[in-house]
């Protein structure tokens, strides 16, 4: 079968990597469409250099913009590409605007959608990501959930057909690259003046934090009062806002440019604690055995909290400090994110998809000039 895989942001490149390999191994054809949602090379191009991921067949170059503008531009261009390419199915990942746009473009052309990382819920409808993932799940034909929790969330919404619990594809790729991290740490940490286990790694990019100067002030106070160096990897959009706010940071807080995927994992694995508002980084910290402070009031990765490796603090200064300083939790009794074979399981499942495809009305497909 021939699948179009649509990606546009950091987590999607990571998720696609093991699945792309697995799809090729079982004989599927694939077309990779990069929407350009993350247009900064440090946020996208490095993945195609560092990971065994084929270059995109299409790069739409949509770039940034308001949610409606960005999603609309993606819809228009994705529709044209899908009409030209006519894949048997479209594979989408996670919860970005690229995910939503691809799912909508496909179902309106009667092309079935497979959603990798289905069923996640933060139950916070003010987050654009929550809307994206809910809508995508309700239009998808096949839903691959990374956890049992995700499957139960789907069941509560009446979605039971086409659902499989496969484990998490991000764990697949993490297992593949982790042996390379120790060597990178020997070079990277001294270059940044860091000691293993002696610093906090921070990332902040969600508008609930970055668009609120007072929230960022509270976070800055927490980082400034931390008893160890804080390495703050600053998203390009966050950097622009911080320049406007003029927030003072402590001398031990270093604001650095985003790093590549492998260097980010290296910094995560060697940190004493990770402080973030990113969903993917929460999960990576858990899988790497590093305590995490999530500067949100909710999380879609509830297992990381249930096992004691993640605490939700919002932007509250004292809560962030307490989270950073808390003792290391006990090792988890099991890994709720699978066995590291999620991509193989998804690719094998898709081999049977041909019998479940809905017939497409060719009158709805418009030929491109």
Kindly list the catalytic residues. 205
177 strand-pairing partners: none
DSSP 179: G
Token pair belonging to 324: 């950073």
Cα–Cα dist 310/301, whole Å: 9
Pick the closest to residue 148 from 327, 306, 344 (CA basis).
306
Helix, strand, or coil here: 122? coil
Decide if 165 contacts 148 (C-beta within 8 A). Answer: yes
Cα–Cα dist 71/35, whole Å: 10
DSSP result, 311-357: EE-TT-HHHHHHHHHSPPPPPPSS-TT-SS-HHHHHHHHHTTGGGGP
Token pair belonging to 128: 């654009």
Burial class (CB in 10 A: 0-12, 13-18, 19+), 267: buried
Total residue count of the chain as it appears in this document? 369
Helix, strand, or coil here: 2? strand
Write the Ramachandran bin of 335: left for phi over 0, alpha for psi from -120 to 50, otherwise beta. beta
DSSP 48: H
Phi, psi at 311, each rounded to 5°? -125, 145
């Amino acid at each position: 079968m021939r699948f179009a895989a649509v990606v546009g942001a950091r987590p999607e490149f990571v998720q696609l990597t093991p699945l792309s390999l697995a799809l090729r191994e079982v004989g599927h054809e694939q077309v990779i469409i990069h929407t350009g949602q993350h247009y900064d090379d440090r946020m996208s191009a490095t993945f195609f250099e560092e990971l065994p991921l084929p270059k995109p067949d299409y790069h739409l170059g949509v770039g940034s913009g308001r949610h409606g503008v960005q999603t609309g531009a993606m819809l228009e261009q994705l529709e044209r590409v899908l009409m030209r390419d006519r894949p048997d199915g479209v594979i989408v990942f996670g919860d970005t605007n690229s995910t939503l746009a691809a799912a909508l473009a496909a179902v309106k052309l009667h092309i079935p959608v497979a959603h990798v990382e289905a069923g996640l819920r933060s139950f916070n409808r003010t987050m654009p990501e929550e809307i994206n993932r809910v809508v995508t799940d309700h239009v998808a034909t096949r839903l691959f959930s990374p956890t049992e929790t995700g499957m139960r969330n789907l069941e509560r919404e009446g979605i039971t057909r086409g659902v499989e619990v496969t484990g998490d594809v991000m764990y697949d790729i993490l297992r593949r690259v982790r042996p390379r991290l120790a060597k990178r740490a020997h070079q990277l940490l001294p270059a940044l003046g860091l000691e293993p286990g002696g610093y906090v790694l921070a990332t902040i990019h969600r508008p609930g934090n970055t668009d609120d100067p007072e929230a960022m002030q509270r976070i800055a106070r927490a980082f400034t009062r931390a008893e160890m160096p804080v390495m703050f990897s600053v998203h390009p959009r966050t950097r622009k806002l911080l320049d406007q706010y003029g927030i003072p940071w402590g001398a031990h807080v270093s604001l650095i440019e985003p790093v590549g995927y492998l260097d980010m994992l290296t910094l995560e694995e060697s940190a004493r604690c990770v402080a973030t508002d990113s969903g993917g980084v929460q999960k990576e910290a858990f899988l790497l055995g590093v305590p995490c402070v999530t500067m949100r009031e909710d999380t879609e990765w509830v297992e990381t909290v249930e096992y004691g490796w993640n605490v939700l603090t919002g932007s509250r200064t004292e809560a962030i400090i307490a989270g950073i300083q808390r003792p290391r939790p006990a090792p988890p009794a099991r890994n709720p994110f699978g066995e590291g074979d999620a991509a193989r399981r998804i690719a094998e499942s898709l081999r049977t998809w041909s019998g479940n495809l809905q017939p497409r009305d060719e009158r709805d497909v418009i030929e491109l000039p």
